[in-house]
């Protein structure tokens, strides 16, 4: 189980880089220095507030929501239950990106060190117009 979270954190770092590309941000909570957010807090935040909710939302979307919205999917789900794994895997990616962006926004409001770090990065960018 411990290796699962390490692999998921690496996957989330990659997905958060993709999210940074779309939001034009310079950093995210997974790549800040350890004096801003300690490694132990980072693992707790990542596992409790990012990995578990993203997986849960993907499962709920794949098992409960999509069959009610899309009748063809519901029919295929009854015939071939293995499709759930693929759908959960595919829907995990955008859900994890959105969840990470939201988590990043919450951390910037709650954690003053992180907020100051983000502001300093923005000020460095504005030095040379």
Q: Which helix (H) or strand (E) holds 21?
A: helix 2-23
Segment 10-48, tens digit of pLDDT: 888 888 888 888 888 888 888 888 888 887 788 788 888
* Mean pLDDT confidence for 75-84: 84
pTM of structure:
0.82
Q: What whole-number distance in Å separates Cα of residue 128 and Cα of residue 8?
A: 37
Q: Say what the pLDDT of residue 37 is.
A: 84
Q: Say what the pLDDT of residue 124 is.
A: 66
The DSSP string of 35-50 is: TTS-HHHHHHIIIIII
Q: Say what the pLDDT of residue 92 is.
A: 92
Confidence label for 55 from pLDDT (cuts 50, 70 and 90)? very high
In sequence order, the 6+-apart residues with CB closer than 8 A to the CB of 114 are 29, 32, 36, 37, 107, 108
Percent of the chain exceeding pLDDT 90 equals 20
């Amino acid at each position: 189980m411990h290796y699962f979270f390490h692999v998921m954190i690496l996957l989330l770092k990659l997905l958060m880089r993709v999210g940074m590309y779309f939001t034009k941000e310079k950093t995210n909570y997974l790549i800040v220095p350890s004096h801003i957010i300690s490694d132990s807090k980072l693992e707790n935040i990542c596992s409790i507030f990012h990995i578990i909710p993203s997986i849960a939302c993907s499962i709920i979307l794949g098992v409960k929501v999509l069959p009610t919205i899309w009748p063809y999917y519901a029919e295929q789900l009854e015939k071939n239950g293995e499709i759930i794994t693929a759908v959960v895997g595919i829907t995990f990616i955008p859900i994890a990106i959105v969840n990470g962006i939201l988590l990043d926004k919450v951390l910037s409001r709650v954690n003053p060190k992180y907020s100051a770090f983000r502001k300093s990065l923005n000020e460095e960018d504005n030095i040379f117009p």
